[in-house]
Structure 1
Amino acid sequence: MPPVADLVLFALALAAAGVVSGLLAGIFGIGGGAILVPVFYQVFGYLDVPEAVRMHLSVGTSIAIIVPTSLRSFTAHRQRGAVDTGLLKSWIVALPAGAILASVIAAMISSVGLRLVFVAVALLVALRMLFNRDHWRVGDHLPTGLANQAAGVVIGTLSGLMGIGGGVLNNTYMTAFGRPIHQAVATSSGVGVLISIPGIFGYIWAGWGLAGLPPFSTGFINWAAVALIIPIALVVTPWGVRLAHALSKRQLEVGFGVFLIFVSIRFLVSIYA
């Protein structure tokens, strides 16, 4: 067991991550998982959580935290009238289905595999955001019908595997079809709600009864970390919403891209160091 002083230090680190998570939830419409997953991975490693379950526990715990932060962010953005509620209603089955599929895959994939999925998707999205040009648009209107449902399932699945609320992928998806980044960010907060709620149950099931999980864990969710971070993130999220509406489209895109590259590099280091 680590010394008490070290545990206090890591508790403070998690608290700081809660502040960043809340800001990200408001600014980018994401649940903050892109920063929480690597933080959890390091903390759980220090607490001697086995490598075989460490990344899974990090992703599952992040998913649990996304529920209240996404709800908080969604409420704040909806009050500003920026959410595309029609798109969210069309994905009310597709996004949860993707989240459940992600938990099934997580039950079978290795820790390295989960980290590589995280890195690959994050880098692709970052490059698109950093070098975005209007003529890179896939189209001027979002798909409908089966194509729209397929997009929802893919976003739900990849987000569930990354431990994020779907904002990373939904922002890219909506802007690729000409939607304003501010509307994409606002709608992404609702996407996070539809992914994270079924994701909690999926990650509990995927890790149920496995050896090596730390105290206060149910499956791949550690409730001690959840309880520490959620109150902080809920307080901070509205600040991020106000900041998001004060920034320009290009400032949001560049900030989002740089952030994703930083996180990707951190995970590559964890794999190959």
Structure 2
Amino acid sequence: MTHNLPLLLAFGLLIGVTTVLFGFGGGFIVVPVIYGVAGDRPDAMHIAVATSTAVMIVNASLATMTIRSRVLAYREYLWPLIGFIAVGTAIGAVAATRASESLIHVFFVAYLIVTIVDSVVRAGFLDASSDTPRPLGRHVASIGGVGIGAIASFLGVGGSIMTVPLLRRRQLPMATATALANPLTIPIAVIATIVYAFGRDGTAPGTLGYVDLLAGGALLAASLPTIVVTRRLVRHVPDRLHAHAYIVLLVASLVAILAT
């Protein structure tokens, strides 16, 4: 993938911005990009998903550290949800190593469409209806957490695609919901990467299992300094604009994965 280095570095900048603003850590940006540059390989979708989770370990960890004061202020939304997410992650990652390329691709597209439609049509995401945040219920944290982990690791997208809408509908501001998405993504990224790295027989040069080390390194080289710079911007983005921008980015990811 060295001939695609400029492209990877350019998208690394975008990943850094979306990590801070939307809690993606990579996810819906990395998967279409890696899938596009590795499209001639028979395991391109697996490589894209695995490399995405590896990138998210670093990006989500750095983003969590840079906005830790906001994260700590709402730590009651992290536990026990994060524990159930970890359980679901192991299930989803193992299932993905045994799934076909076409199945992962179809699920990726389908989940994007469902999330976009749900966020636009169902009340509670684009406009917060109350200034008072509501706590997570027991069933939401347990059953919802396992589901979030399983789907996120299967698709290589981190938890933000589900945790942001979930927390948003608990009346949290977008800036807070996206900030909490980063620590909630870390267990998904770590567990899924371990499974993808060691759940494959044989490895190609420059890879660890399904993880493409060269592509991941290029993306991180550009995204990490961008995260540090962008973290100061999120507090200045109006809440409604922030929510609409989240939907726009999901639509762009859908177009990209369909185009590739």
Q: TM-score, normalised by structure 2?
A: 0.90
Question: Secondary structure at 2:35's aligned position in 1?
Answer: helix
User: How many residue pairs end up in the alignment?
Assistant: 257
Deviations along 1:6-31, one digit per CA (max 9) or x if unpaired, are 943x1110111111111110111121
Alignment of 1:1-273 (within 5 A): 7-8=2-3, 10-45=4-39, 48-50=40-42, 53-80=43-70, 84-131=74-121, 133-134=123-124, 141-209=134-202, 214-270=204-260
Closer, same or farther in 2 for the Cα pair 1:147/1:171, shift >3 Å? closer
Does the 8 A contact of 2:70 with 2:176 survive in 1?
Answer: no
Deviations along 1:61-94, one digit per CA (max 9) or x if unpaired, are 0100001100111112223457521222213421
Question: Secondary structure at 1:178's aligned position in 2?
Answer: coil
Aligned partners of 1:120, 1:160: CA distance in 2, in Å?
A: 15
Cα offset for 1:141?
2.8
Cα offset for 1:187?
0.4
Aligned partners of 1:92, 1:81: CA distance in 2, in Å?
A: 13
Cα offset for 1:132?
5.8
State which drifts further: 30-39 or 85-94.
85-94
Unaligned runs of 5+ in 1: 1-5
The residue that corresponds to 1:3 in the other structure is: none
Does the 8 A contact of 1:82 with 1:186 survive in 2?
Answer: no
CA RMSD, 1 decimal:
2.4
Runs of 4+ in 1 over 6 A off after TM superposition: 135-140
Question: Secondary structure at 1:268's aligned position in 2?
Answer: helix
Closer, same or farther in 2 for the Cα pair 1:106/1:171, shift >3 Å? same
Unaligned runs of 5+ in 2: none
Aligned partners of 1:256, 1:37: CA distance in 2, in Å?
A: 17
Deviations along 1:157-183, one digit per CA (max 9) or x if unpaired, are 111122122112100111122222221
Aligned partners of 2:33, 2:211: CA distance in 1, in Å?
A: 15
Cα offset for 1:241?
2.4
Deviations along 1:140-163, one digit per CA (max 9) or x if unpaired, are 734332431111111111111221
Does the 8 A contact of 1:66 with 1:192 survive in 2?
Answer: yes
State which drifts further: 227-236 or 119-128.
119-128
